[in-house]
Each structure stands twice: as C-alpha cells, then as structure tokens.
Amino acid sequence: MKRTTLALTVAAFALTTSCFAVTAKICIDPGHGGSDPGAGGFGQSEATNVLNTSLKFKTWLDKDTNDAGGGGSWSVVMTRSTDVYVSLQGRCDVANNAGANRFMCIHNNAFNTTANGTETFCSPTAGTTTQDLRNKVQDRMIQAWGRANRGVKTAAYYVLEHTAMNAELAELAFVDNAGDSVYTGSATHQDTAAKYHLYAIQNHFGLTAYTPVVAQTYVVDNTSSGFSASTNWTLSTSEPGYYGTNYRARATGSVSDAAQWTATIATGGNYTMSAWWTSNANRAAAAPYILPDGTTVAKNQQTSGGVWNTLASKSLSSGANSIKLSCWTTAGYYVIADAVKFVGPN
C-alpha cells in the first residue's frame, strides 16, 4: 500500500514537470566503498570505478543545471563522495532524508570472467515510472558503451526495496571480464557513461537529451602561436609580475602598430575577456585594447599589474577571435602586451 501511494505521487510529479523546466533531486549511489571494495579484476576495484563514474555523473548534472540552454535543473545528493563504507540502510537514509525524487545506483558486475554486458534493475514491485527510469538508463548505457545488452531486470535488492522514491540499479559492465574491463576502469569511458546517465534522466523527465556546454578558458600569451606584433614591440623581463616568461613593450605614439592575440574558440557564446600586464608609472594610463567586435576598452597599465584585468564580456562567434593592443595614446609612455584570456561560454 505504501508503495502504491508513492508511485502515484511520483507519477503526478513527472506529469507536472514535463511541460516546464524540470527541477528534481537526484540521489546518486556509488556502490560499495571503504572496507567493502566490491568486485575486482584487471587491477580495478569496483568501489573506485563506480565512485569515479558517479562523481562524473554529478558533474554532468551540475553542468546541466548551470547551463542556461536545454536540459533540466537538478539538485544532487550523493550517498558517498569518497572511498568510505556506507551501509545499505545508510544509503537509503541519505536518499529518504533528503527527499530525493530519484535514486540511481551505479555498480560494476563480476561473475566468472566470461560473463559480460550491461544490465539494469528495479524492484519486482516497481511501477511504470520506475520501470521507465530503469529502461532509459539501460538504453543509454548500451549506446554509451556498446557492450552486450543483458536487458532490464528486476531484483529485490536492499536499496531498491528500502528507498522511498523511484530507484534503479545499473550494473554497467563486468569488471572481471577482459572486454568489459576496458570500459569500467577508463576515465574516458566512465565520463561517457556519466553523460549518458544524464541523457537517461533528461529523457525520463520528458526532456530532449542535451549536452551542457562546458565553459573553456583560452589563454594567449605573448609567446603563444596566437600572438603577433611588429619588432617595435621589444621583449622584456625588467618589470616583475609578467605572465609566462616575459612580455612585450612598445613606446606610445600616433600610430596603431597593434599587438594581436588570437584564440580559436570552439563554441560561440558570451565570453569574458581579460588582459594581463606589468604595471609601472611609465605605462600608458589609457592603453587601448581593441576587442573582437571592434570596440575599444582603455585600461590604465600604471596599476593592477600581475593579475587578470577584465576588459569586457561580449558575444563571440566560434573560430578565430582577436584582441589587439594599439600604441596610439598619449605619447611618452609604454604599452605592455603580455597575455589575454577568453573564458566562456558563460
């Protein structure tokens, strides 16, 4: 009776949220840990594999939440985030006390070294919403790793029976099987499994699978291949606080002769651009940085040396984007071309 009530509540929740931005609390349960290493094989420990996979899953959920694009908004609870022992009831308590909406348990399998493939479980008494969660995890894991499809199954596992929300348990692959172990222990494949768990939970809540955009940092130093300047810009190390191994300096005057930093940006979007210089009283008080959109930002290089100074936040297209530093400003000073940074999309 209790389980029926819960299933109805959760079904209503899913219906309510399917036409709006989803906000759900996901409890991730990395199996084993601490004094219980789980299964082993090929130098791997199941407890370590599934913790790393689970932490990557949390990272993808957080990225999806922080990304203004598609996907959902998730709060994440972990039954463990380090290599510690947590009892089976302890895992259920974490999920139940947090009021999680879904419980997603990650394991590696092991048997006789020849058994292999991916299988995902829910309780034998689970309703259709829980079965949907299980089925979508299984489907996405088959896409992620392409291991043998052992199908969706039911089992009265402790955590599936004692959690008060829709719960599934994925046996990603067999850690003691030669072919499967290539996947279970690989950081790259763990990340793929984590990303496809994100797709599964997105699909489960009626959302189109969406890969959140990850902010990137592009630094172009005056020694980088993306930098160019005329020989009038002389190399210097005389003022400390430079980025990398040196900087370039040029006398100001009535000519542009701009130094240029170019970054090749993978994904278009809003980027924060910053510049680094070494400061001294002989620097330009209004050093003219020319941004990729052609606008100019004047920065006082007499102060704030040795740190990143924000120039502006702008929408940039993917591909080559350049920041220039002109020397055309009040004569009798120096402009300093050291490094620039692009961070985004954000």
Beta-bridge partner residues of 25: 75
For residues 30 and 292, which CB has a smaller minimum distance to Zn ion in the complex?
30
Binding mask 70-109 vs Zn ion (x if CB under 5 A, - otherwise)? -------------------------------------x--
Q: Are 72 and 21 in contact (CB under 8 A)?
A: yes
Q: Which residue has the tokens 């079904």?
A: 11
State the minimum distance, in angstroms, from the CB of residue 113 to Zn ion: 16
State the minimum distance, in angstroms, from the CB of residue 107 to Zn ion: 3
Q: Which stretch binds Zn ion (CB under 5 A): 34-42, 117-125, 155-163, 224-232?
A: 34-42
Q: Is 171 known to be catalytic?
A: yes
Which residues, numbered 35-64, are part of the site for Zn ion (CB under 5 A)? Answer: 38
For residues 38 and 71, which CB has a smaller minimum distance to Zn ion in the complex?
38
State the minimum distance, in angstroms, from the CB of residue 39 to Zn ion: 6
Residue nearest to Zn ion (CB): 107
State the minimum distance, in angstroms, from the CB of residue 46 to Zn ion: 5
Sheet containing strand 149-154, edge to edge, reads: 73-78, 23-30, 102-109, 166-174, 118-122, 149-154
Which residues, numbered 140-199, are part of the site for Zn ion (CB under 5 A)? Answer: none
Q: Is 228 left (phi over 0), alpha (psi -120 to 50) or beta?
A: beta
For residues 107 and 204, which CB has a smaller minimum distance to Zn ion in the complex?
107
Which of 227, 275, 222, 284 lies closest to 251 in space, CA to CA? 284
Angle, helices 187-204/46-66, rounded to nearest 10 degrees: 50
Total interface residues for Zn ion by CB under 5 A: 3
- CA separation for the pair 70, 178 (Å, rounded): 37
State the minimum distance, in angstroms, from the CB of residue 105 to Zn ion: 9
Q: Are 261 and 326 in contact (CB under 8 A)?
A: no
For residues 53 and 262, which CB has a smaller minimum distance to Zn ion in the complex?
53
Which of 196, 248, 253, 255 lies closest to 223 in space, CA to CA? 248
Q: Which stretch binds Zn ion (CB under 5 A): 23-31, 135-143, 183-191, 273-281?
A: 23-31
- CA separation for the pair 188, 100 (Å, rounded): 28
> H or E stretch including 178?
helix 178-184
Among 30, 31, 33, 41, binds Zn ion (CB under 5 A): 31
Q: Which of 119, 168, 171, 239 is catalytic?
A: 171
Q: Are 104 and 171 in contact (CB under 8 A)?
A: no
For residues 106 and 327, which CB has a smaller minimum distance to Zn ion in the complex?
106
For residues 51 and 340, which CB has a smaller minimum distance to Zn ion in the complex?
51
State the minimum distance, in angstroms, from the CB of residue 112 to Zn ion: 16
Which residues are part of the catalytic machinery? 171
The contact set with Zn ion (CB under 5 A) reads 31, 38, 107
